Structure 1
Amino acid sequence: MPAAITFYTNPFSRGGIVHWMLEELRVPYRVEYLEYGTSMKAPDYLAINPMGKVPAIRHGDVVVTEAAAICAYLADAFPEAGLAPPPSERGDYYRWLFFASGPLEATIGLNSCNVEMTPDQEMQLGCGRLETVLDVLADAVREKRHIAADRFSAADIYVGSHIGWGMQFGTIDRRPEFEDYWQRLAQRPAHRSSMQQIETAMAKYPLPSAMT
């Protein structure tokens, strides 16, 4: 029997990215929902992720945290799902998967905290200004169905999720390139299935009042 997957998440988290990834794999997995400030900081979970954050997965004896790392790991662990290009075609796959987890996430976070970087800080932080990052990302998805190797991959799941959420919450401009790219991805059956499960869980595990 293949090793079981346990998925630790909260419906109001980046765990949605991993949830979509797991649905694309079409393999059994168990979801364990954790709540902010309580079970997410409990000793049992801190033994899995000392940061006390989600998402995380346990696959047999392997523990992986960080959404981008989880997506990359699962794509390799289940090659039959075809969610990673062949090694010789992974240049863009790795590039955009980690562009989104690095410069994109960092600059959006800084912008959301109203941090206006000076030129010197741009060099120190390495993420670039938001306008530059979004220009680069828009060019990467312009008139493309998929961001890497002309096929759907874990990079589309990760990058697409950030674009979709960013446009929804106003942290990413609703550029035509982003709208076109995201609309195609959002129609995937696995994405719709994960969203249905997330919406159900939202009613059962609401955000603490301090976070609303």
Structure 2
Amino acid sequence: MAALTFYTNPMSRGQIARWMLEEVGQPYEQVVLDYGTTMKAPEYLAVNPMGKVPAIKHGDVVVTEAAAICAYLADAFPDAGLAPPTGERGAYYRWLFFAAGPVESAVTAKSLGGLAPPDKAMMAGYGSFEAAIDNLERAMPTGDAWIAGPNFSAADVYVGSQVDWGMMFKSFEPRPAFEAYAKRLQARPAYQRAKAIDTKLIEEMQAKG
């Protein structure tokens, strides 16, 4: 089996990829990088010229961007059952990349005070912040369903991370549908394992100053 290496910083979107790795359940080597130093060093820039995390290396294959990592790992390790059958992936791709595109862009733009003005909304991929978040709310699963159908998938890892962080950092209001979805995700053993690993790493980094 090809070696799997995970490049991350616990205070980053690397937490999304870590959760996905824990859902996959395959062994991996972690490489923890620091902003501005090892993340910008030639060794890592050879992996990701953007000098950002997360990234994974699976054998000779390099994948960057958290949503892409989630999708890749689901396909690379099909026994984990984290992607629907190929012919049933409409909702899977739709919500995975809706969260990675419009939702991520809208939340970031609002956090930075740079939302598109109403008369320019048609030029922004998210349209308006309200439209993106309202559409995300409408996608929230009910009952025993998940974001892309009856089974938990990689789309839930990525969409769920956006919702979980939205609740944590108050980047959008804690609507009941978001809170219910986040609560279900937080109960998953893989989520809890990943969170424990990153929390410990953060505590160690803070102790070192």
TM-score range, shorter chain: over 0.9
- Judged with a 3 Å threshold, the aligned counterparts in structure 2 of structure 1 residues 96 and 140 are, in CA distance, closer, same or farther, namely same
1:172 aligns with 2:172: yes
CA RMSD in angstroms comes to 1.6
Contact kept, 8 Å, 1:6 with 1:29, in 2: the verdict is yes
**Measured at CA, do residues 80 and 174 of structure 1 come closer, stay the same or move farther in structure 2, by a change above 3 Å?**
same
Moved more, 200-209 or 128-137: 200-209
Partner of 1:110: 109
Q: Secondary structure at the match of 1:190?
A: helix
Over residues 74-105 of structure 1, what are the superposed CA-to-partner deviations in whole Å (9 max), with x where a residue is unaligned?
Answer: 00000000000001110000000000000000
Partner residue, 2:62: 63
Change in 2 beyond 3 A, CA 1:171/1:207: farther
Structure 1 residue 199 corresponds to structure 2 residue 199:
yes
Unaligned 5+ segments in structure 2 are none
Give 1:150's aligned residue: 150
Alignment of 1:6-155 (within 5 A): 6-144=5-143, 145-155=145-155
Q: After alignment, is 142-151 or 46-55 more displaced? A: 142-151
Alpha-carbon distance in structure 2 between the residues aligned to 1:94 and 1:82: 15
Amino acid at match of 1:162: Q
The whole-number CA distance in structure 2 between the counterparts of 1:53 and 1:184 is 30
**Secondary structure in 1 matching 2:51:** coil
- Structure 1 window deviating more from structure 2 (197-206 vs 160-169): it is 197-206
8 Å CA contact 1:90, 1:149 repeated in 2: no
What's the offset of the Cα at 1:207? Answer: 11
Q: Deviations over 1:40-68 (max 9, x none)?
A: 00000000000000000000000000000
